[in-house]
Structure 1
Amino acid sequence: MTKQALRALYRDKRNALAHDKLKLDDLLLIQFQQLSFENVDVLLTYWPMANQAEPNTHLFSGYLRHMIPNLQMAYPVSDFSAFSMHATLITPDTVYHTNRYGITEPKEGEPIANEQIDLVFVPMLICDEQGFRVGYGKGFYDRFLAGCREDVLKIGFSYFEPVKNIDDTQAFDVPLDYCITPYEIYEF
């Protein structure tokens, strides 16, 4: 299937999970806790969009904050005029706002270079067995990840098992290293 067809299908499937979401998020966290994060000092995470029924990334970043006491966390700040984003470090005092696209971002903060990031939580609707993902269709993360170190760890969270193949992947698409589902961890 194409990205467009998969995007529509998995948006509907994810929205249909509303009453199971808390349980599925807990199962995702259990799987996530199986991985090792010994070389992670800087995490780029994102605020889950409620209107997209995204997995609760706050659970995963909270776990890492507990396991890595000096963990630095950053959130993306989007530039829709250039279809790009940059990472902004957060603190306990960070103030957030939700932009017109429903994305919650830090209002201000210290930018951090892509090369300093060790781990990125990558939003997705579904991925394939090669680690290529279907996001929301604007390419923000693929462009951002292209500027990160080669060894940056890229993790996506999905309520669904990977599909066999995405028919229209492009040369600029950046595959995940891991897709975590409620019942299995896929490594690519």
Structure 2
Amino acid sequence: MAKSNQLKAALRDQQIARLHDFLQDPQEKPEIQRLYQQLFAEPHFANSETLGITLSMDDELDTQPIIHWALTHDKQVAVPRTLPHRQMTFVLLEPDTVLSETKFGTIEPVGGQVLAKSQLDVLLVPGLAFSKNHFRVGFGGGFYDRFLKGFTGTSIALVTPVQLFDEPVWNVEDFDVKVDKLIY
């Protein structure tokens, strides 16, 4: 298990660097726009009423265009708030939502209306690496794997070329939960 954790940690470091380089390359902007447009046309996403999505950080695909699109198309948007024991919940994002930076550098809502897991139609799942058979490597906290257990909506991940692998190059664990749809 320790060796598996070391390999995943090394993969995370590699993927953070690869994703950073990809996102900083101006020539990749059309590819990023293509991913957004594919998401907006995806039936589960387009027909959803309530979307769960992270507030992206620097070396992640920017989620603001997605949030903006969803809000201008009369969708409810909910963003995650972490809880003790590596759990999380989603809070409705409203014009007066107060956001605060956590000790991990993520931005989360303070207070606000918590939505039940069953109220989310679609959940956009972040990650660093994805296999074509829908497994992922996240940032190492296990928050999304825990949340996805029992999630009945549709989970979707936007995957850049540097994040996509034909097969997992990491050990898939019993607790890893597949993403329903990959857009790449």
TM class, shorter-chain normalised?
A: 0.7 to 0.9
Identity %: 29
The CA deviation at 1:39 is: 4.0
1:145-156 equivalence runs, <5 A? 145-149=148-152, 152-156=153-157
Q: Deviations over 1:12-40 (max 9, x none)?
A: 11111213364443222122233113541
1:9 to 2, 6, 14: 14
Give the aligned residue type for 2:17.
Answer: D
- Label 1:108 to 1:122 Cα distance change in 2 as closer, same or farther (>3 A): same
Q: Deviations over 1:96-150 (max 9, x none)?
A: 111111110111101111111110011111100110111001110010111322x
- Contact 1:47-1:57 within 8 A present in 2 as well: yes
- Contact 2:70-2:77 within 8 A present in 1 as well: no
Q: Which runs of 5+ in 1 are unaligned?
A: 182-188
Length, aligned pairs only: 174
Q: Give me the TM-score of the superposition, normalised by structure 1.
A: 0.84
Alignment partner, residue 35 of structure 1: 42
1:1-188 equivalence runs, <5 A? 2-17=7-22, 18-20=24-26, 22-36=29-43, 37=45, 39-50=47-58, 53-67=59-73, 69=74, 71-79=75-83, 81-149=84-152, 152-160=153-161, 162-166=164-168, 167-181=170-184
- Label 1:102 to 1:23 Cα distance change in 2 as closer, same or farther (>3 A): farther
Name the CA distance, whole Å, in 2 between partners of 1:38 and 1:48. 21
Name the CA distance, whole Å, in 2 between partners of 1:94 and 1:73. 12
As a proportion of its length, which structure holds more helix? 2
How large is the RMSD of aligned CA atoms in angstroms?
1.9
- Contact 1:25-1:56 within 8 A present in 2 as well: no
Q: Which runs of 5+ in 2 are unaligned?
A: none
